[in-house]
């Protein structure tokens, strides 16, 4: 049972829902690589018109990947909340777009709707929205999480401090962390991507970050972004684990390529909860995602990369995470070729995550083989700040010397907060004042003496 749409004298036929979604997707290189993109601009708009006429209910009866073969589809279907869905059950995708943009869809209504939305519905409506639409609706979504501070309040913009070092050198990490704190970053998390997944190395960094946090009395959380099994081993050994990190995707197959499944994530989540380390709340998970990961793992089932990305958020929300971010420009030009494609994908990912109820951040980033530069990142960062992004990254000088890509800098975080009138998480903002962190760039306030964190 397919879909048809006539434009002029041409009748376009889309044999199934996943094909319709793929052909309706604004162009990006990854869908062309997968062979699922529209062949022409006219075919794309035909698919978008057909999609706009589709009843939202249809997404409850047809899956893009079969229920029997994919545990993410089962998660999506089995956790769908029909009561929350009721207000939109008679709408089309086009009607849903209109309602989302209307005044009736306020913060309270959107929060109530979230459990009634599936990733595919949200991806579908995003495909017929412009950047301004994606920004306007996301800005109305407020998804608050807590561990040692409060993340996601309206008018706030948090920063993940990302002090990576090519050899996980403790003093190198400490110096980059202090640099970031002095520039107001670190309220989302102080999170290190380890150079290796070696358990001993991860234990050393976990221990060092925890001592640093305590020495300065920072109301925040730390994380070493190792594989979930490495972090579980670290917890077994009594390591100070605040947040459990894992990269996730939108199909069972891509998650298997990451070495995880829902059962393993459930086990890790329960183990982290049992540590009871959060003082304000128990959101203990941190997930990263990104368009193209499923194609990269040859586990995409002919579904477009943006729909699969939205499906990853179903995995995330099952575990009530503190933080989720798309690493939007990291994957490379064969998936998102240039600044235009990265901009669009970053806004889609943020919109979809927020609408599904997640504390959505974005790693505004690019690699040197993508057609992108700092101007593109400034544009995306500014749009995301206007859209109320929960957090962005803070990397010294925007140059990650371990992962060899460019993300947003501590300075960029200050810029975005100033340009859009955003403030840090309240507990962290109070701490910045107490520590005497201000606008000077010469001396370090005495309360933040580098000797306290092993820098002498």
Interacting residues of 200 by C-beta distance below 8 A, sequence separation 6+: none
Provide the minimum distance between the beta carbon of 48 and another protein in the complex, in angstroms, as a whole number. 24
**Range in contact with another protein (rule: CB under 8 A) among 37-45, 80-88, 422-430, 444-452:** 444-452
For residue 171, state whether it binds another protein (rule: CB under 8 A): yes
| Cβ 230 vs Cβ 199: under 8 Å | yes
Provide the minimum distance between the beta carbon of 113 and another protein in the complex, in angstroms, as a whole number. 36
Provide the minimum distance between the beta carbon of 437 and another protein in the complex, in angstroms, as a whole number. 11
Among 176, 316, 393, 432, binds another protein (CB under 8 A): 176
Among 15, 155, 259, 397, binds another protein (CB under 8 A): 397
CA 334 to chain CA centroid, Å, is: 20
**Contacts (CB under 8 A) with another protein, residues 319-338:** 333-334, 337
Rounded Cα distance between 296 and 335, Å, is 9
Strand partners, 146: 150
Interacting residues of 276 by C-beta distance below 8 A, sequence separation 6+: 282
Provide the minimum distance between the beta carbon of 403 and another protein in the complex, in angstroms, as a whole number. 9
Going by the DSSP 8-state scheme, the letter that residue 166 receives in this structure is T
Is residue 109 packed enough to be buried (19+ CB in 10 Å), middle (13-18) or exposed (0-12)?
middle
**Contacts (CB under 8 A) with another protein, residues 422-441:** 439, 441
For residue 179, state whether it binds another protein (rule: CB under 8 A): yes
**Contacts (CB under 8 A) with another protein, residues 11-30:** 29
> Which is it for strands 399-400 and 405-406: parallel, antiparallel or unpaired?
antiparallel
Nearest to 455 by CA among 97, 179, 95: 179
For residue 369, state whether it binds another protein (rule: CB under 8 A): yes
For residue 163, state whether it binds another protein (rule: CB under 8 A): yes
The nearer residue to another protein, 126 or 164, going by C-beta atoms, is 164
**Range in contact with another protein (rule: CB under 8 A) among 112-120, 152-160, 340-348, 394-402:** 394-402
Nearest to 349 by CA among 337, 338, 362, 340: 362
For residue 415, state whether it binds another protein (rule: CB under 8 A): yes
Provide the minimum distance between the beta carbon of 428 and another protein in the complex, in angstroms, as a whole number. 18
Going by the DSSP 8-state scheme, the letter that residue 389 receives in this structure is -
| Cβ 75 vs Cβ 318: under 8 Å | yes
Helix, strand or coil for residue 356?
Answer: coil
The nearer residue to another protein, 15 or 450, going by C-beta atoms, is 450
For residue 421, state whether it binds another protein (rule: CB under 8 A): no
Strand partners, 7: 10
**Range in contact with another protein (rule: CB under 8 A) among 12-20, 223-231, 321-329, 413-421:** 413-421
Helix, strand or coil for residue 190?
Answer: strand
For residue 2, state whether it binds another protein (rule: CB under 8 A): no
| Cβ 352 vs Cβ 126: under 8 Å | yes
The nearer residue to another protein, 171 or 340, going by C-beta atoms, is 171
The nearer residue to another protein, 163 or 278, going by C-beta atoms, is 163
Going by the DSSP 8-state scheme, the letter that residue 454 receives in this structure is T
For residue 35, state whether it binds another protein (rule: CB under 8 A): no
Rounded Cα distance between 105 and 82, Å, is 18
Binding site for another protein (CB under 8 A): 29, 32-33, 163-166, 169, 171-176, 178-179, 182-183, 333-334, 337, 367-369, 373-374, 395-399, 401, 404-406, 409, 411, 414-415, 418, 439, 441-444, 449-451, 455-456
């Amino acid at each position: 049972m397919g879909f048809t749409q006539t434009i002029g004298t041409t009748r376009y036929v889309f044999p199934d829902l996943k094909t319709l979604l793929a052909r309706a997707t604004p162009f990006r290189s990854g869908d062309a690589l997968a062979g699922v993109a529209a062949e022409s601009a006219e075919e794309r708009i035909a698919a978008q018109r057909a999609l706009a006429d589709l009843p939202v209910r249809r997404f409850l009866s047809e899956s893009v990947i079969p229920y029997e073969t994919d545990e993410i589809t089962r998660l999506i279907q089995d956790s769908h909340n029909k009561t929350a869905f009721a207000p939109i059950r008679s709408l089309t995708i086009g009607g849903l777009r209109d309602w989302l943009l209307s005044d009736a869809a306020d913060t309270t209504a959107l929060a109530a709707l979230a459990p009634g939305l599936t990733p595919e519905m949200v991806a579908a409506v995003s495909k017929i929205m412009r950047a301004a639409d994606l920004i306007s609706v996301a800005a109305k979504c407020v998804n608050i999480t807590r561990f040692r501070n409060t993340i996601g309040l309206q008018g706030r913009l948090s920063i993940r401090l990302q002090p990576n070092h090519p050899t996980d050198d403790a003093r190198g990490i400490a110096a980059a962390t202090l640099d970031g704190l002095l520039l107001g970053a670190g309220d989302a998390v102080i999170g290190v991507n380890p150079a290796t997944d070696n358990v001993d190395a991860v234990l050393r960094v976990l221990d060092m970050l925890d001592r640093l946090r305590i020495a300065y009395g920072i109301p925040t959380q730390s994380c070493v972004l190792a594989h979930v099994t490495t972090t579980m081993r670290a917890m077994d050994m009594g390591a100070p684990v605040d947040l459990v990190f894992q990269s996730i995707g939108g199909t069972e197959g891509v998650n298997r390529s990451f070495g995880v499944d829902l059962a393993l994530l459930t086990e890790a989540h329960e183990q982290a909860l049992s540590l009871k380390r959060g003082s304000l709340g128990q959101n203990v998970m941190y997930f990263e995602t990104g368009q193209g990961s499923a194609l990269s793992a040859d586990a995409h089932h002919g579904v477009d990369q943006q729909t699969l990305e939205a499906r990853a958020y179903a995995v995330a929300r099952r575990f009530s995470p503190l933080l989720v971010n798309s690493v939007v420009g990291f994957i490379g030009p064969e998936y998102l070729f240039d600044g235009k494609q990265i901009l669009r994908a970053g806004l889609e990912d943020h919109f979809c995550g927020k609408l599904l109820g997640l504390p959505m951040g974005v790693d505004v980033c690019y690699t040197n083989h993508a057609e992108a530069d700092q101007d593109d990142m400034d544009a995306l960062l500014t749009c995301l700040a206007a859209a109320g992004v929960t957090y962005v990254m803070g990397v010294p000088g925007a140059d990650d010397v371990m992962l060899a890509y460019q993300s947003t800098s501590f300075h960029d975080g200050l810029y975005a907060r100033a340009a859009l009138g955003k403030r840090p998480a309240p507990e962290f903002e109070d701490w910045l004042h107490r520590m005497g962190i201000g606008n000077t760039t010469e001396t370090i306030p005495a309360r933040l003496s580098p000797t306290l964190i092993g820098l002498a």
